[in-house]
Amino acid sequence: MNACEGHTTNAVGSTSADFGEMSLAVMANDIEATHHAYLRQELPRLIALSGQVAAEQGKRNPQLPQICQIIVALAAELNSHMRKEEQVLFPMIRELETGRRLPAFHCGTLCNPIRQMVSEHDDACGALAQLRELTDDFERPTGASDKFRTLVAALENLEQDLQLHIEKENRTLFPRALALEEKRRLDSLITSYR
């Protein structure tokens, strides 16, 4: 199974079912207030924690430095990804929903930024799959230190939250935004022929 399929529960924010009932603007607000806020708080903590555990126990557990490197790279990618959603894509989606006419987006259509975001989601899922593999499915090793156990538990939570976050965007917010854009396009076509 793909690392980003099949999970529908989450420690923060709405469930997938609640989420489907929201307007597009409220969905974008919900994602920013829960999943983006969670990542902004958790990623620096995970970088620091994985660095400490790798420095203290990396000789006995050679996978630890690699885990740390993956977290650092994932954090950089996700910070850039969230900025693009918050500064470009989500404002476009809000504008599309509020206006009755099709807005003139500088990138032409929502398809382009959405395709880019989905591709970046696939990259994040790849990193999660590597973290799962390197930790033997988030197994807390017997005799591991408290810090090591805390790190593995936090990585498992990260996977769960990021999977739900990506599922909300890929399966609900983005397809609905594209459908609304198509509707606005048809409406303006019909209006132009009246």
C-alpha 142 chain-centroid distance: 31
Q: Cβ closer to Fe ion: 43 or 117? A: 117
Nearest distance from C-beta of residue 168 to Fe ion, angstroms: 8
Nearest distance from C-beta of residue 101 to Fe ion, angstroms: 27
Q: Cβ closer to Fe ion: 30 or 169? A: 169
Nearest distance from C-beta of residue 31 to Fe ion, angstroms: 5
Amino acid (1-letter code) at residue 103: P
Name residues whose C-beta falls within 8 Å of residue 61's C-beta, 6 or more positions apart in sequence. Answer: 141, 148
Write each residue from 8 to 47 as x if it is in contact with Fe ion (CB under 5 A), else as -, in one continuous string. Answer: ----------------------------------------
Nearest distance from C-beta of residue 183 to Fe ion, angstroms: 23
**d(Cα 25, Cα 95) in Å, to the nearest integer?**
9
Residue 167 binds Fe ion, judged by CB under 5 A: no
Q: Cβ closer to Fe ion: 78 or 131? A: 78
Nearest distance from C-beta of residue 64 to Fe ion, angstroms: 28
Residue 181 binds Fe ion, judged by CB under 5 A: no
Nearest distance from C-beta of residue 60 to Fe ion, angstroms: 36
**d(Cα 14, Cα 11) in Å, to the nearest integer?**
9
> Which window, 6-14, 37-45, 161-169, 170-178, contacts Fe ion (CB under 5 A)?
161-169
Residue pair 178/185 in contact (Cβ under 8 Å)? The answer is no
Write each residue from 88 to 117 as x if it is in contact with Fe ion (CB under 5 A), else as -, in one continuous string. Answer: -----------------------------x
Residue 169 binds Fe ion, judged by CB under 5 A: yes
The neighbour count for residue 80, using CB atoms within 10 Å, is 10
Query: For the purposes of burial, counting CB atoms within 10 Å of the CB of 136, is it exposed (0-12), middle (13-18) or buried (19 or more)?
Result: exposed
Binding residues vs Fe ion (CB under 5 A)? 85, 117, 169
